[in-house]
Structure formats: C-alpha cells, structure tokens
C-alpha cells in the first residue's frame, strides 16, 4: 500500500475507554507526535472519566457518530472488546483511519481475512499492537540469546500462573465479554493473555512448524471457568523447541500494579541460560533478568521492569511510525495472523488429543 508518513502530529481518536485505556494512554500523554481529538465509548461514565485527560477532545457514543461529526482523524487507538474487533476495525478503516488495534486480532481466520481486506481496500495501515515486544527485559533476553553468550539455543520455556488475589480492579463488564469468549473456546488464559506468549515465541525464534497442546478447564464458580491447566509445546522452523505451562492458583496473592499474572521466560543454551523472572506482576523479587554462563550468574538490576512501560513504548513506536514509516510495525496485520494461526493450531491439536498440527495448514 502507498503509505505517506505524516510529518506532523497525528490526529488520533481512542475507541473503547475501558480498563486497558489506562495503559494504552501512556504512549499518548506528553507525546508531541500526537494530538488526541476524539474519545468514543457508549458508556457516558467512561467518556466523562477519560475527558479529564483530554479536555479539548470531542466525545462520542459510537464510531458512526464520530465519523459523521466532521472531526478530522488520522489514526485510531482501538481498545474494543475482542468480539467487536472485526466489525469495529472494518468500520474504522472504512472511515479512512489507520488503526492500532489491541490484541488478540480476532477469533478466527475468516475474521482476520475481513480485517486484512478492509485495510487493503481502504489503503490504510492496520497494526495489531503487542506491548510485550516492548518490555525491556524481554528485549535483553532476545539480545542475549542472539549474542551467543549462552551458546547455541537448545530449547526454552514459558510459565504463566493466573492468581486469584491482588492486582488492580477489573470491572465485571470486562469479564462478561471474556466469559462469552470462553464459551466460544477462546479463553482468557490461552487466547487473550496467551496471545502475548505466542507472540514472544515467534518474535524470539521465528516461524512455527508444529504445535502440540493439551488445553484444560478449571471451574472457578458458575459462570466463570478458565482454560487451564494447559500445556502447549511447539517447534520452530529453525528446529528450536519451546513449551509453555499455564496454571490457575485461585487463592494465591500476587503483588501487582496490574493483572495478577506470574510469568517467566527461560532460554537454555549449549553453554548457559537466560531467564526473565517476571513481567505483569511483581512475583519473584530478584533482578528481573539473569544470565548464567561459564559458572557465573549475571544479574540485571537496572532494566525497566514496569510492565506499563511496554504500553508506553509500543504506543510511541506506532505514533513515530506514522510520522516516519521507519522500522517494523510490531505487529503488522499479516504478522498477527501468524500468531492467530499458532493459537488455532493449539486448539486443533488439543481437540485431536495432542497431535502435532502445522499452523501454516490451519484453515
Ligand atoms: N495488551 C494487553 O496486555 C491487554 C490487557 C487487557 C486487555 N487487552 C485487550 O484490550 C481490549 C479491551 O480490553 P479491556 O480490558 O479494556 O475491556 P473493557 O471491557 O474494560 O473496555 C472496553 C470498552 O469498550 C467500550 N465499548 C463497547 N462497545 C463499544 C463500541 N461499539 N464502540 C466504542 N466503545 C465500545 C466499552 O464500553 C468499554 O468501556 C481487548 O482486545 C483486550 O483483549 C490487552
């Protein structure tokens, strides 16, 4: 497509002013690359709450009313519930706006094709944001893996524990659509939060050629159930194998400024290992990143380990990209489809008893 960088502050609208707005807004606050001109949400309380951040922005209850208003918009920060991603993003693109859409892209390949088609037909950029790719400790982990410091990569694993206690408040309305997603087989652990882990796998070691999964189910209380315990393993095209275990610990307290998600990444090399000890929450209180090699452990004490900073940097990257067109989008819509395929292959494998599934063959 013919994208012309703006070379001036981008006029942006936020669409969806719910829980995650609090973090996505960090890329916009105090950023000379952007002017926030509109805020959209059907909930009047959310509009009034977020207007305090942007007193000069116009507010609207719907995308349609923003489009009819004459307010000029270049790009939209789309923070809609997942079930609205396909139709919402189509409408945004059809209005001629570039879109930075929260992950996950959408529930299936048919939806993804519609989103790609709308971007192409309207000659607009669709980015599916992935803040984990901007978390500084994970950047350092990737750099260490690529440096040869721990030798050749022989394997890696990720761990994720959803704990029941601690963290920030999540309104019940945010859980309601997640429960609908769960009923569709797109649960909060594997598909919603899990999208990030699948993204980091592809980002670290490239395309995936085989996935094997065993997706579980934990009833927390009617109507809430979660898609854990789950184990997913895979092999990259370069031969590196990865694994990820997901568990729910309903009575565990986790200190966190955000969601109560205790996470780790550990890459094993032929000479040593590199490990990121935490991300969203403040689980293990030791340096966020450690590297073991040749009998010595090196600890990184000064990396920015605030998960919220990854939203700031992802947002700044997008707004800078619109100004300059420089570098990868992280992710483009096409790259996000690879993440979706990875997730769909896991579902297909689990449904078939854990057989190997090639995500490139998922339909
Ligand atoms: N990157 C991350 O780590 C991360 C974390 C949490 C959520 N998310 C993603 O962010 C998105 C939003 O999640 P959330 O937790 O903020 O949800 P939420 O339910 O808290 O907020 C969604 C908001 O959208 C509004 N809305 C509903 N229909 C709308 C419409 N037609 N037009 C405009 N606004 C509408 C709702 O009123 C609500 O305020 C989801 O895709 C979710 O998966 C990402």
Mutate to test the pocket of ligand 1, among 15, 78, 102 (most ligand atoms within 8 A of CB): 102
Q: Can you give the pLDDT at residue 43?
A: 98
Q: Which of ligand 1's atoms lies nearest the C-alpha of 131?
A: 1
Write the secondary structure of 260-318 as one string of H (helix), E (strand) and C (coil). Answer: CEEEEEEEEECCEEEEECCCCCCCCCCCCEEEEECCEEEEECCCCCCHHHHHHHHHHHH
Q: Can you give the pLDDT at residue 165?
A: 97
Ligand 1 pocket, Cβ-based, cut-off 6 angstroms: 15-20, 40-43, 46, 62-63, 79-82, 84, 102-103, 131, 171, 173-174, 192
Residue 1 confidence (pLDDT) above 90: no
User: Residue 239's pLDDT band (boundaries 50, 70, 90)?
Assistant: very high
151-169 burial: b if 16+ Cβ within 10 Å, else e: eebeebbbbbbbbeebbee
Could you give all domains of the chain from N- to C-terminal order, each with its CATH number? 10-128+311-331 (3.40.50.720), 134-300+342-351 (3.30.360.10)
pLDDT digits (tens, 9 = 90+) for 25-38: 999 999 999 999 99
Of residues 280, 286, 306, 309, the one with CA closest to residue 298: 286
User: Residue 161's pLDDT band (boundaries 50, 70, 90)?
Assistant: very high
Residue 224 confidence (pLDDT) above 90: no
pLDDT digits (tens, 9 = 90+) for 52-96: 999 999 999 999 999 999 999 999 999 999 999 999 999 999 999
Mutate to test the pocket of ligand 1, among 14, 16, 256 (most ligand atoms within 8 A of CB): 16
- For the entire predicted model, the pTM comes to 0.98
Alpha helices, DSSP H, located in 79-147? 85-94, 109-121, 136-147
Listed in sequence order, the residues at least 6 apart from 228 whose beta carbon sits closer than 8 Å to its beta carbon are 162, 189, 190, 216, 217, 218, 246, 247, 248
Cα 346 to ligand 1 centre (Å): 25
Q: Can you give the pLDDT at residue 220?
A: 87
Residue 2 confidence (pLDDT) above 90: no
Q: Can you give the pLDDT at residue 214?
A: 98
Residue 268 Rama label (left phi>0; alpha psi -120 to 50; beta): beta
Residue pair 100/77 in contact (Cβ under 8 Å)? The answer is yes
**Cα separation of 262 and 282, whole Å?**
7
The mean predicted confidence, pLDDT, of the chain is 97
């Amino acid at each position: 497509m013919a994208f012309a960088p703006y070379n001036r502050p981008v006029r942006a609208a936020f669409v969806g002013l719910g829980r995650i707005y609090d973090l996505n807004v960090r890329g916009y606050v105090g950023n000379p690359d952007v002017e926030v001109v509109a805020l959209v949400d059907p909930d009047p309380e959310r509009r009034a709450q977020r207007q305090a951040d942007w007193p000069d922005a116009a507010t609207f209850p719907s995308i349609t009313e923003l489009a009819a208003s004459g307010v000029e918009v270049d790009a939209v920060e789309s923070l809609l519930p997942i079930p609205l991603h396909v139709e919402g993003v189509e409408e945004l693109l059809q209005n001629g706006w570039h879109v930075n859409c929260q992950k996950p892209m959408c529930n299936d390949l048919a939806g993804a094709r519609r989103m790609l088609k709308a971007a192409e037909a309207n000659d607009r950029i669709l980015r599916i944001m992935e803040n984990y790719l901007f978390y500084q400790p994970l950047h350092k982990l990737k750099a260490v893996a690529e440096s040869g410091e721990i030798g050749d990569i022989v394997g890696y694993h990720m761990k994720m524990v959803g704990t029941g206690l601690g963290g920030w408040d999540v309104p019940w309305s945010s859980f309601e659509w997640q429960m609908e997603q769960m009923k569709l087989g797109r649960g909060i652990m594997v598909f919603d939060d899990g999208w990030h882990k699948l993204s980091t796998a592809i980002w670290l070691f490239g395309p995936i050629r085989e996935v094997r999964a065993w997706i579980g189910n934990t009833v927390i209380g009617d109507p809430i159930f979660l898609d854990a315990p789950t184990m997913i393993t895979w092999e990259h095209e370069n031969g590196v194998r990865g694994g990820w275990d997901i568990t729910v610990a309903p009575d565990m307290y986790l200190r966190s400024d955000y969601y109560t998600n205790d996470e780790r990444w550990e890459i094993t090399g032929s000479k040593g290992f590199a490990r990121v000890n935490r991300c969203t929450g403040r689980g293990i209180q030791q340096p966020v990143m450690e590297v073991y090699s040749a009998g010595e452990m090196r600890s990184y004490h000064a990396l920015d380990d605030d998960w919220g900073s990854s939203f700031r940097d992802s947002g700044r990257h997008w707004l800078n990209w619109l100004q300059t067109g420089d570098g990868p989008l992280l992710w483009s819509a096409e790259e996000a489809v690879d993440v979706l395929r990875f997730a769909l292959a896991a579902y297909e494998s689990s449904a078939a008893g854990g057989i190997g599934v090639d995500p490139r063959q998922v339909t």
